[in-house]
């Protein structure tokens, strides 16, 4: 099986986190998101431990909460001693609602409005990751008005292409995020930061992309940022204490994906490299932050659907339709993301039926996956899509006025609703 929390029981049913998914579908209805709490916690602990063991004690993984955001997930992050990366006041609000400590929230975003800045400062968010000069000036002005000094990191674009999809690749020079090092803009920006009142620059941030299975792109990013740090120290006398290396560790979605990155080994290799480069550049080893999103929650998620029917277009292909679609998982429609699809109630039947899994949205590109092998499906079968914990619920929409599925958290043989399914009343709740 793709991940160790997937299995098959004596009835030939798919199990997830040790529980029978067919039973769960019956009990809670479909479409339905499942989450494996132990897996989320184990993923957090791996980063926590590796960063603590290899860097200073205050080094910290920040959960990139755009991957999956609801109050329960922030409660888990608080319990696991994680920080949180938020990209909007909606995410900050949700984290605070879960009593997540504000000082461990890092506020991202390439266009923070004046309202955003006021909200985050009023709620004592620990650190802003500043993208641009207009934002810097607005933070400075409001922090001055409040009589505080706001801690900040500056987002740099290191100019690295980690060979991922263009749509999820943000570290190269031509990007709407951050200040490019290569063009000299980053150095000029730091010069401005250092003479700006009411902000305290802690260090630098960079994020090179997503679904990265190798540690080398992170090493290259660290190299570029450390060299930049030494250059700024020499030219402006500022020495960065914090380096945030962003997120992007890959997760296996299908058998053909490379092996799952060994987070502990990668971070230890990275630390060795950074230690030696820091000593060569005569820099102190910085506090290291990382921002894993996908690799915290993706393999802790699974989506269940009920098959509505099978349509074979002779000479073309067969469609299996399910009671969800791009509303709960837009990632195939957006960028052709691969997924592993299974018939949860017939795991031991021969998968000899090639089909396309289509959702129920009125949009021809609204597919879940094409050319997958399943047992020949029929109405009432339970179809499971694995590794849906990241960027599914958080990207869900109400297109076609479909209700968003609920989330059921699985732990120790228990199943609890942590986000209820939307109702029709929710659909009109904002309509005046
Ligand atoms: C998306 C994003 C992350 C998380 O990326 P994953 O691939 O989910 O680990 C972290 N930091 C920033 C700035 C991001 O944009």
Mean pLDDT for 156-180 is 74
Q: 190 lies in a domain? A: yes
Q: What percent of the chain has pLDDT over 70?
A: 98
Q: 14 lies in a domain? A: yes
Residues 6+ apart with CB under 8 A from 354: 317, 318, 371, 372, 373
Question: Ligand 1 center to residue 293 CA distance, Å?
Answer: 6
Tell me which H or E stretch contains 370.
Answer: strand 367-374
- Does 232 lie in the same domain as 358? no
Q: 76 lies in a domain? A: no
- Does 265 lie in the same domain as 118? yes
Is 295 touching ligand 1 by the criterion CB < 6 Å? yes
Q: What digits encode the pLDDT tens for the residues 47-84?
A: 999 999 999 999 999 999 999 999 999 999 999 999 99
| 249: DSSP letter | B
- The answer to whether the Cα torsion of 36, 210, 111, 109 is positive or negative is positive
Is 210 touching ligand 1 by the criterion CB < 6 Å? yes
- Does 308 lie in the same domain as 266? no
Q: Is the pLDDT of residue 174 over 80?
A: no
What's the rounded Cα separation, in Å, for the pair 284 and 267?
18
Model confidence at 164, pLDDT cuts 50, 70, 90, reads low
Q: Which position among 44, 239, 361, 362 bears the catalytic label?
A: 362
What is the count of structural domains for the chain?
2
Question: Ligand 1 center to residue 393 CA distance, Å?
Answer: 16
Q: Whose CA is closest to atom 2 on ligand 1? A: 247
Is 88 touching ligand 1 by the criterion CB < 6 Å? no
Last residue of a domain, one of 292, 323, 354: 292
- Exposed e or buried b for every residue in 23-40, given b needs 16+ CB within 10 A? ebbeebebbbbbbbbebb
DSSP string, 36-67: EHHHHHHHHHHHHHHHHHHS-TT-EEEEEGGG
Last residue of a domain, one of 239, 273, 292: 292
Nearest to 220 by CA among 166, 170, 162, 181: 162
- Does 245 lie in the same domain as 151? yes
Residues 6+ apart with CB under 8 A from 176: 110
Whether 44 is catalytic is no
- Does 317 lie in the same domain as 236? no
- Does 277 lie in the same domain as 171? yes
Q: 89 lies in a domain? A: no
pTM across the whole model: 0.96
Q: 43 lies in a domain? A: no
Q: 359 lies in a domain? A: yes
Is 61 touching ligand 1 by the criterion CB < 6 Å? no
- Does 180 lie in the same domain as 285? yes
> 152 near 201, Cβ under 8 Å?
yes
CATH number at residue 281: 3.20.20.10
Q: Is the pLDDT of residue 171 over 80?
A: no
Last residue of a domain, one of 229, 258, 292: 292
- Does 264 lie in the same domain as 315? no
Looking at every residue in the chain, the average pLDDT score rounds to: 96
pLDDT score, position 161:
76
Question: Ligand 1 center to residue 8 CA distance, Å?
Answer: 33
Q: Whose CA is closest to atom 7 on ligand 1? A: 248
Q: Which atom of ligand 1 is nearest to the CA of 170?
A: 15
- Does 411 lie in the same domain as 325? yes
CATH number at residue 327: 2.40.37.10
What's the rounded Cα separation, in Å, for the pair 65 and 88?
10
Is 150 touching ligand 1 by the criterion CB < 6 Å? no
- Does 381 lie in the same domain as 305? yes
pLDDT score, position 41:
98
| 313: DSSP letter | E
Strands 60-64 and 83-86: parallel
- The answer to whether the Cα torsion of 336, 339, 342, 344 is positive or negative is negative
Model confidence at 406, pLDDT cuts 50, 70, 90, reads very high
- Does 313 lie in the same domain as 288? no
Q: 77 lies in a domain? A: no
Q: What digits encode the pLDDT tens for the residues 211-238?
A: 999 999 999 999 999 999 999 999 999 9
- Does 181 lie in the same domain as 287? yes
Q: 391 lies in a domain? A: yes
Q: What digits encode the pLDDT tens for the residues 249-260?
A: 999 999 999 999
Is 294 touching ligand 1 by the criterion CB < 6 Å? yes
Whole domain around residue 17: which residue ranges? 6-36+298-427
Nearest to 384 by CA among 23, 54, 10: 23
pLDDT score, position 411:
98
């Amino acid at each position: 099986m793709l991940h160790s929390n997937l299995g098959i029981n004596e009835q030939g049913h798919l199990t997830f986190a040790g529980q029978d998914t067919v039973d769960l579908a019956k009990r809670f209805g479909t479409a339905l998101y499942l989450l494996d709490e132990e897996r989320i916690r184990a993923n957090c602990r791996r980063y926590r431990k590796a960063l603590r063991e290899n860097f200073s004690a205050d080094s910290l993984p920040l959960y990139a909460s755009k991957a999956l955001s609801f109050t329960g997930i922030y409660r888990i992050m608080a319990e696991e001693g994680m920080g949180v990366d938020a990209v909007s006041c909606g995410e900050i609000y949700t984290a605070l609602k879960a009593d997540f400590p504000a000082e461990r929230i890092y506020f991202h975003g390439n266009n923070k409005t004046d309202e955003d800045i006021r909200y985050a400062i009023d709620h004592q968010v620990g650190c802003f990751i500043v993208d641009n000069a207009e934002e810097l000036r607005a933070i400075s002005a409001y922090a001055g008005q409040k009589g505080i000094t706001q801690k900040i990191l500056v987002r740099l674009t290191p100019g690295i292409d980690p060979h991922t999809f263009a749509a999820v690749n943000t570290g190269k020079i031509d990007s709407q995020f951050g200040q490019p090092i290569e063009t000299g803009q980053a150095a000029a920006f730091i010069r401005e930061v250092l003479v700006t009142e009411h902000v305290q620059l802690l260090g630098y941030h960079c994020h090179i992309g997503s679904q990265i299975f190798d540690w080398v792109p992170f090493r290259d990013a660290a190299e570029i940022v450390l060299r930049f740090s030494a250059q700024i120290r020499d030219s402006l006398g500022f020495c960065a204490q914090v380096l945030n290396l962003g997120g992007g560790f890959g997760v296996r979605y299908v058998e053909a994906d490379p092996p799952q990155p060994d987070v502990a080994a990668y971070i230890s290799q990275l630390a060795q490299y950074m230690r030696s480069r820091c000593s060569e550049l005569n820099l102190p080893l910085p506090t290291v932050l990382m921002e894993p999103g996908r690799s915290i929650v993706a393999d802790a998620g699974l989506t269940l659907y009920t098959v509505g029917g099978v349509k074979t277009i002779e000479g073309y292909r067969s469609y299996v339709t399910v009671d969800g679609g791009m509303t709960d998982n837009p990632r195939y429609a957006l960028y052709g993301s691969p997924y592993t699809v299974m018939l949860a109630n017939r795991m031991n039947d021969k998968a000899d039926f090639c089909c396309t899994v289509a959702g129920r949205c009125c949009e021809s590109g609204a597919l879940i996956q094409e050319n997958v092998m399943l047992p020949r499906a029929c109405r009432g079968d339970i179809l499971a899509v694995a590794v849906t914990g990241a960027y599914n619920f958080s990207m869900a929409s109400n297109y076609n006025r479909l209700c968003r599925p609920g989330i059921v958290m699985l732990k120790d043989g228990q199943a609890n609703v942590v986000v209820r399914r939307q109702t029709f009343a929710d659909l009109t709740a904002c309509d005046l």
